[in-house]
Structure 1
Amino acid sequence: MTDPIVRALTGDAAQQTVSLAREYRAAPAEVWHAITTPERIARILGALTGPVPTAPGDVFHIDIGGERVRRAELMKCAAPYELAYTWWSGDDDPGSVRIRLTPTGDGTRVTITHDRLRPHWTGGYGAGWEASLAALAEVLGSPAAIAPAADWSLLQERPLELTLRMEAPRDRVWDAWTTSSGLATWWWSHWTGVEIIADVRVGGAYRFAAPAQGMAVAGEYLVVDPLERLAFTWVWSDDDGVSVDEAVEVMFAEDAGGTALTVRHTGPWPSDEPVESYRQGWEFVLGALRSAVG
């Protein structure tokens, strides 16, 4: 069964972000109507109680079942492409939910990002959003086979994290990560014929391919916070197959005139073997980055 959902887990041991994406054979306007009309919301997320929010700052409540009512506050409503609101899960600080609708050739790609989650909420909300995306397919009249929900606790279990310091200033390191020309100076630069494509914006795609070696990595940018943070999905492909539900986050910090770079990679890894394999790969390319930026 082909899993219709692309998942990503980013963040750290204190706060985490779940991201999910799925495509639907419906126009953005139809999908927007489904996620903003109270009677249809009830089938996707939960019953809207009280007044319907119409402007940023409006507070509303969702009854998600089991005697659980969640408070939310509208942050952005840009029909028919983006919806954002804060979401109180029971902790002191609210999380933030952003829903982006992107037109595709024959439909709409829906991307949901729920950030500032305490780790103990991650698994529940990951599974909950998967159920909401499946319910949205039903509401749109195009139900598809539903793959088993991901094991979000497994995504949390073995994060790979590497930190290294570079003498280069932060803006130079950032440019090396966020331009195709900059990436070409270090990413698999020891091989010839490497193809680098990077549309560095939220929702933009990237692809780094080494055809002669039969490998590539591709994905979508989830966060682009200039000079501070990049996050993106990670789909590795080679002769052994294609990876699923992996993500990478890169943090850039000033450090005594240089840059402290932290890379965090997560995936549904059942053992330490893929973690160590990725560690070797990251150490190699990050060494090439340090050499390239000086």
Structure 2
Amino acid sequence: MTTTRRSPADLSAAVAGTTREVVRLGVRSGLRVSRTYPTDVADLWSCWTDPARLVRWLGRPEGDRREGAELRLVMGAAAQQPPDADATTGFARLRVVHCDPPHRLTVRWAWEDEEPSLVDLRLRPVDADPERTELVLEHLVLDEPAARGYGAGWEDLLLRLDAAVIGSDPGFADLEAALAPHWQDEATPYPLPEVTGGDGEPATLCTRRWVAASPGAVWECVSSGPALERWYATTAQVDPRVGGTFRCTFDQGAATGEVRRCAAPYELAVSWRWDGTGTASLMTLTLEPQQRDGRPGTLVTWREEGVTGNAVGYAAGLHAHLAGLARAATGLTSRDTRWYADFVLAHSALRGRYADPFAS
């Protein structure tokens, strides 16, 4: 490996190539960082999974790396020393939760004496260009100070991954210290969904979010099948009038219902149930024009009544879907990696608040 001395201007250019975000939800936080690399997906995947390449920028894996297995990731100076089975510091304990080569890797992460968290990595070609790959890394279920610290740390490592891809050393003396200020912006706070009822009775769920779009723009996202497929369901059909049909398919099954109330562009209520079940719930979306900091927008309230089963999991999904609706209404493609992160954060925070009787 060659070492090239790089200037502060080089660092500024490298930092400009990173997108970063800290999201706060209740007492839980998560971070999201992404970069684009000048190589194909398979080569970048190899940098994460080939021990000889991984040790050059992240650390030395010790143990079984198959899905479901547990291993240690020895990092820092310790990674350059001979393996020491008796070591008690300098490594993270990992468990491989999901592995889909060469596109996705999810691991349970526990650094020394920290509470376990979740790291989710996704790789995909950029604009169908096989020689450029977008990497999106999300580290979830952290407290906010840890999220900020991990943000700078992961960005440090991903810049070193840049060097590993092209076969050189990054040449920066202390990347993490230089990057830390970029993670000090105020975290984006989102309200936690409310869960009432339960304890053997159907629950009511409610979540709200302000969206920087008009009620008409939000309404467009909820009142047609093609629009719903951008952020909500795999396939969708909706006839936005009282008595109109509603049908959506998801990874976990299909749901069918009927429009109960429709007042475009301010309210849509649908009674629906999962296929094969006898219990229906009532989903109501209300859209209220509201300005924030002089900016026009819409306060979206999503309410579900008559929910049975795991209300916490259902509420976490509701939160993730509303986040997707907010992105779709502002022109972003939303059925992407973000749903998973939004769901995990919400589920963790809700389990802390509604540990009994809702969690399961």
Report TM bin, short chain: 0.5 to 0.7
Q: Please tell me whether residue 127 in structure 1 is matched to residue 152 in structure 2.
A: yes
Q: Which residue of structure 2 aligns with residue 45 of structure 1?
A: 58
Q: Which residue of structure 1 aligns with residue 22 of structure 2?
A: 9
Separation in 2 of the partners of 1:200 and 1:287? Answer: 15
Q: Please tell me whether residue 57 in structure 1 is matched to residue 68 in structure 2.
A: yes
Distance 1:260 1:12, change over 3 A: farther
Q: Please tell me whether residue 28 in structure 1 is matched to residue 41 in structure 2.
A: yes
Size of the aligned set, in residue pairs, is 204
Equivalent positions of 1:1-294 (< 5 A) are 1-2=12-13, 3-48=16-61, 50-51=62-63, 53-65=64-76, 67-90=89-112, 93-104=115-126, 105=129, 106-141=131-166, 148-149=178-179, 150-156=181-187, 159=189, 183-185=217-219, 199-200=230-231, 277=293, 281=296, 284-286=297-299
Q: Percent identity?
A: 21
Output the TM-score relative to the length of structure 2. 0.46
Distance 1:155 1:198, change over 3 A: farther
- Is the Cα contact below 8 Å between 1:101 and 1:109 reproduced in 2? yes
Separation in 1 of the partners of 2:71 and 2:107? Answer: 10
Separation in 2 of the partners of 1:42 and 1:118? Answer: 28
Separation in 1 of the partners of 2:193 and 2:72? Answer: 41
Q: Which residue of structure 2 aligns with residue 190 of structure 1?
A: none
Separation in 2 of the partners of 1:77 and 1:287? Answer: 36
Root-mean-square deviation (CA), in Å? 4.6
The one-character-per-residue Cα deviations of 1:67-125 (angstroms, maximum 9, x if unpaired) are 42110111112111011110013456411111100111241000001101122311221
- Is the Cα contact below 8 Å between 1:123 and 1:151 reproduced in 2? no
5+ residue gaps in structure 2? 1-11, 78-88, 195-203, 222-226, 234-250, 254-280, 287-291, 304-360
Separation in 2 of the partners of 1:260 and 1:199? Answer: 17
- Is the Cα contact below 8 Å between 1:95 and 1:114 reproduced in 2? yes
Q: Secondary structure at the match of 1:57?
A: coil
5+ residue gaps in structure 1? 165-169, 188-195, 203-223, 227-255, 262-275
Separation in 1 of the partners of 2:92 and 2:71? Answer: 9
Separation in 2 of the partners of 1:40 and 1:72? Answer: 18
The one-character-per-residue Cα deviations of 1:49-74 (angstroms, maximum 9, x if unpaired) are x32x3322211111222642110111
- Is the Cα contact below 8 Å between 1:186 and 1:288 reproduced in 2? no
Q: Which residue of structure 2 aligns with residue 231 of structure 1?
A: none
- Is the Cα contact below 8 Å between 2:22 and 2:148 reproduced in 1? no
Q: Secondary structure at the match of 2:231?
A: coil
**Structure with larger Rg:** 2
The one-character-per-residue Cα deviations of 1:27-60 (angstroms, maximum 9, x if unpaired) are 0000011111112111222222x32x33222111
Distance 1:92 1:140, change over 3 A: closer
Separation in 2 of the partners of 1:59 and 1:163? Answer: 33
Separation in 1 of the partners of 2:144 and 2:93? Answer: 20
Q: Which residue of structure 2 aligns with residue 272 of structure 1?
A: none
